[in-house]
Every structure is written in structure tokens, then in C-alpha cells.
Amino acid sequence: MGSAERGASSGPRLRSLWLHAVARPGRGLPSFAGKCTHSSPAAPCPNLLPSHVTPQVAKSVEYVQAGTTHLVAAKRLQKNTRKWMCCGLILLLIVAAAIAIPIAIKLSK
């Protein structure tokens, strides 16, 4: 069995282990029943996180927000650079044409 098959088969197994652990509180795991009023499945419920994990999650959120801000700034800079590069190339083509056309006309006579 390759690593892809093991990874695919471990998903349901891990889920069933988690559900089993939640169903049997008191064996080293806290009881989670009724502690979370958070309804989003994408984000973990803050009440379920251990106290040492909460600051790390907050730092991670700040880190991701800073990264998003930097990506937006980089996108704006890239767009601006591309615009000025196109303007420079067009100006270069105009100057080259202004020099080449009179030379071509003199050579053809």
C-alpha cells in the first residue's frame, strides 16, 4: 500500500477515533458536549482549544493577515511595473521607428 492509499484510508479512521474520544470523556480528554456555540465548520471553536494553543492561533491569524497585505501590495507593484515596462517598450519602438524610417528612405533613393 503506497503513501497515497494510506493517507486516503487514514482520514475516516482518524475521524472515527476522534468521534470515539469525544463520546468517551473523562479518559484524559475534556468533555466537549455543549461547550461550543460556534457553528462554522471551517474554523475551530475557541472554547475547544487548549489555553496554550489560543495565543498561537491568534499569532497565526495575524501572520496570515500580514501575508495577505504583503501579497496585495506585491500585486499592485507588479501591475504598476508591467504598465511602465509596456510604456517604455512602446516609447523605444517609436524612437527606433523614428530613426529607422529616415535611414530606410535615404537608402532607397
Which residue positions in the chain have pLDDT lower than 50? 1, 3-8, 29, 33
pLDDT at position 8: 46
| pLDDT at residue number 3 | 45
Q: What are phi and psi of 99, to 5 degrees?
A: -85, -40
30: nearest Cα among 53, 6, 5: 53
As a whole number of angstroms, the distance between CA 59 and CA 51 comes to 14
35: which residues sit within 8 A by CB, 6+ positions away?
A: 45, 47, 48
- How does pLDDT run across 37-58, given as a tens digit for each residue? 555 555 556 566 567 777 888 8
* pLDDT at res. 5: 47
| pLDDT in the model for residue 80 | 97
Distance CA 63, CA 42 (A): 18
**C-beta separation of 99 from 107 below 8 A:** no
Tell me, what's the pLDDT at 97? 96
